[in-house]
Amino acid sequence: MSTPLTPPTPEDVATMASDALHIYGWDLSQDGNVVEIGIGPFGADDKPLLPGMNFQAHVFQVPPAPPIAAEGVDLDVDVARELAYTSIGKTFEGWTVVEREDIDTSRWESHHWLVIRSEAGEHFGATYSKGLTEYQDTRPWECDTIACFEPIARQTRVVQVHEWVTRADLIKLHEYDELIFGGVYCTHCTPDDCADADDNVMWPCPPLRAAGVTDDEAIEIITARRAAIEKAHRASAAQGEAKTAGGDRG
């Protein structure tokens, strides 16, 4: 039996993003300041119970909010190793694990990136490797006496998150139906208790218009759907005739 699921909200995503990666930065690009985030809800039985949800996080560059350390820190390997195995958000010996990222995997080793935060709010990052297969007993910083962490500067912050739907999904969401007296309306935007024909939201509806769906594209969609329905009807009729013919021969 699966645990109840609550679909993530833009506020949840903003909190999640603000707690982790943005602390040490998404690099801003020439393409803009929008980071796309995909989330796939899962239940306790590890089976997808809800469709994946997509969000866009709008970020922009800001002066470093947390203090930036003037120089790196050298940690005892036992402390660094414990941090490498510590869950994100947990603290050990005054250091909080902020993020852990898998970088690369070779035949004998896996390589990782670890970000930690000091009690003063300064962030530091270091790479480390772990053994695989025959070398799986090789621990992080196995051959070192100290673990060197370099200062990290926060580069961006999240200013807005909203749910984002692809254009194809948007068209699928805003389905249409044909009116008896002609015209088509959006079944998604039109209220269920619509009693007056004038209250129907005509299709393409405003959300589809905003996504760039033109009248010509709408006609193509309607034409393709009518052709598919016609094809299905012909196939069903042919199947019925075949059954009837078989019965007559019997």
Position 169 scores a pLDDT of: 77
Take residue 67 and report the two structure tokens written for it: 């203090």
CA distance 11 to 137: 42
CA distance 24 to 98: 9
The residues with which 151 forms a beta bridge, in sequence order, are 124
Nearest of 120, 118, 151 to residue 25 by alpha carbon: 151
Position 31 scores a pLDDT of: 58
E-strand ranges in 67-137 read 73-76, 91-92, 95-105, 109-117, 123-131
CA distance 179 to 191: 15
Take residue 209 and report the two structure tokens written for it: 């218009």
Position 180 scores a pLDDT of: 79
Q: Which residues of the chain have pLDDT under 70?
A: 1-7, 18-32, 40-52, 61-65, 135, 154, 159, 162-166, 194-195, 197, 242, 244-250
**All domains of the chain, ordered by start, with CATH?**
10-65+158-163 (no CATH), 73-152 (2.30.30), 167-249 (no CATH)
221 close to 227: Cβ distance less than 8 angstroms = no
